[in-house]
Amino acid sequence: MNKLSNSLAQADIATSLHPYTNARRHEEKGPLVISRGKGIHVYDEHGKEYIEALAGLWSVAVGFDEPRLVEAAHKQMQALPYYHSFAHKAHEPSIRLAEKLVEMTPQGLDRVFFTSSGSEANDTVVKMAWYMNNALGRPEKKKFLARIKGYHGITVASGSLTGLPYNHMDFDLPAIPVHHLTCPHHYRFGHEGESEAEFTQRLLAEAEEVILREGPETIAGFIGEPLMAAGGVMPPPAGYWKGIEALCRKHDILLIADEVINGFGRLGSSFGAVHYGFTPDIMVLSKQLTSSYMPLAAVVFSEKVYDAIADNTGRIGTFGHGFTASGHPVATAVGLENLKIIEERDLMGNATRMGARLQEGLRQYADHPLVGEVRGAGLIAGLELVADKTSKRAFDPVGKVGLAAFEIGHEEGMIIRNVGDTLALCPPLIVTEGDIDEIVARMGRILDRTQDHVS
């Protein structure tokens, strides 16, 4: 290997193992090296411009060149670049951000624990629930309910909660007690002739049947993304969340809303739980929290959960959990400034307005010969490509056509993501009407060119 290689692509191929990448294919194909960003655009090392229609990884709310976030990081670096929050230590940015999150999130979520990633946050949730139930003298209450196609991260516990084959296959996951319930996506998981309302009732009956079979005294929590995102952009059927909330209350199960993508206006409402009208005991936040300029996530939870944990720390001496970077001062300072910008510029309101335009614009492709379903809410959308519209038959192998569309997207100057054969869009919250119209137009070209490629 030539360590002085002046080709970034060659150096990358020679040295890296990429997340979510076929390594052997990467050795042949090499990376798309992105060098800079501006607004909703990013530019590769050769200067080609792309609309970042997935906001990076569903995360950059304020665009790719927000000077106020750079300034916030710079100022915090100068004042206190690092400190921790172990053993009674604290610093202003993490205190202020915790305060802000308690203020912004729904009533009843009053406590915050910071991590650096959504995966760490969900591992923290699992450990908090276990710790809490041990403290409450119910050591058997440890299992989790999650959903097929749910995405909660990739660490050992969060990866177990995730319900996607690639995250389990050959990783020996799940490694914690978790039951994956049917994915609440009517188009793919509804039975022939089953109405959406009947589908919802079937899923709720299934959830209760599992709870009763396993024993409510063994189930610690139910975790779900209000709108399932990374598994293929799947909004829940009407009444689903209200029903799940009622089951959790009835059987004393913690209801955990994984808002890592949904949170901070993505669906056109402040949070996914607000959008679908339910109140979780725990909310998990990340991504748009800092616009991913800095790695940060937060577990926001109820006083009831806090009290059980706090009492136990009193008994055994400490809460033996925490990361070197929990509440990192630069990350929390950037998060605070990012949330200020979201509020000052009414980016959640913009997401509501632009989201409606995006959803309406994309609906025109429902008639496209390749498109089985157009779906989404606010500024997140998915178009599922199928081999046959009437029978909903998927392409074989799944994902090949989606990958072709993803690559055509690059040629058309738009970065999207294919989840199998579903094309996902999740643009930054700063999008304008003109941006939306351009995204919709490019999507049309991508579909037409993919159609040519298939036939």
- Residues forming contacts to ligand PLP in the complex (CB under 6 A) are 57, 117-119, 122, 151-153, 225, 229-230, 258, 260-261, 286
Q: What phi and psi values does residue 101 have, to the nearest 5 degrees? A: -70, -35
Position closest to ligand PLP via CB = 118
Least Cα distance to 403 among 387, 388, 420, 425 occurs for 420
**Is there a contact between 398 and 392 (Cβ–Cβ < 8 Å)?**
no
Q: How far is the CB of 309 from ligand PLP (least distance, A)?
A: 22
Q: How far is the CB of 424 from ligand PLP (least distance, A)?
A: 11
Nearest to residue 392, comparing CAs of 222, 98, 188? 188
Residue (52 or 412) nearer to ligand PLP, CB: 52
Tell me, letter by letter, the H, E, C secondary structure of 109-139. Answer: CCEEEEECCHHHHHHHHHHHHHHHHHHCCCC
Q: How many helices (H) does the chain have, and how many strands (E)?
A: 17, 15
Of the two residues 122 and 422, which places its CB atom closer to ligand PLP in the complex?
122
- Pick between residue 228 and residue 405 the one whose CB is nearest to ligand PLP: 228
SS3 content of the chain, % helix, strand, coil (to 5): 45, 15, 40
Looking at beta carbons only, is 121 or 370 nearer to ligand PLP?
121
At closest approach, how far in Å is the CB of 230 from ligand PLP? 5
380's tokens: 């997140």
| Integer angstrom CA distances of residue 258 from 290, 297, 344 | 16, 11, 25
Residue 402: other Cβ atoms inside 10 A = 23
Which residue in this structure is represented by tokens 């690639």? 166
Residue 62 CB, nearest distance to ligand PLP (Å)?
Answer: 18
Find the shortest distance in angstroms from Cβ 160 to ligand PLP. 13
Q: Please identify, using beta-carbon distances, which residue of 13 and 289 lies nearer to ligand PLP.
A: 289
Q: Which is nearer to ligand PLP, 286 or 302 (CB)?
A: 286
Q: What is Dmax (Cα atoms) for the chain?
A: 68
Q: How far is CA 296 from CA 158, 283, 335, 375, in A?
A: 16, 14, 8, 29
User: Which residue's CB is nearer to ligand PLP, number 270 or number 286?
Assistant: 286
Cβ 359 to ligand PLP shortest distance, Å: 20
Min. distance of Cβ 223 from ligand PLP in angstroms? 9
* Vertex 153 angle, CA 181 and 419, to 5°: 75
Shortest Å, Cβ 170 to ligand PLP: 19
Q: Which of 90, 111, 86 is nearest to 101 (CA)?
A: 111
| Residue whose CB is less far from ligand PLP, 32 or 57 | 57
For residue 97, count other CB atoms closer than 10 A to its CB. 27
* Backbone torsions φ then ψ of 22, nearest 5 degrees: -75, 105
By beta-carbon proximity to ligand PLP, the closer residue of 211 and 296 is: 296
For the CB of residue 260, give the shortest distance to ligand PLP in the complex, in Å: 3
- Looking at this protein, which amino acid is placed at residue 158? S
Nearer to ligand PLP, 85 or 286 (CB): 286
Q: Give residues with Cβ within 8 angstroms of 172, minimum separation 6.
A: none
Minimum CB distance to ligand PLP, residue 451 (Å): 29
Amino acid at 303: E
CA 228 – CA 272 distance, rounded (Å):
10
Distance of CA 201 to the CA centre of its chain: 26
Residue with smaller CB distance to ligand PLP, 42 or 297: 297
Least distance between ligand PLP and beta carbon 455 (Å): 34
Angle between helix axes 196-214 and 240-250 (nearest 10 degrees) is 20
Question: Minimum Å distance from CB 321 to ligand PLP?
Answer: 17
Closer of 91 and 417 to ligand PLP (Cβ): 417
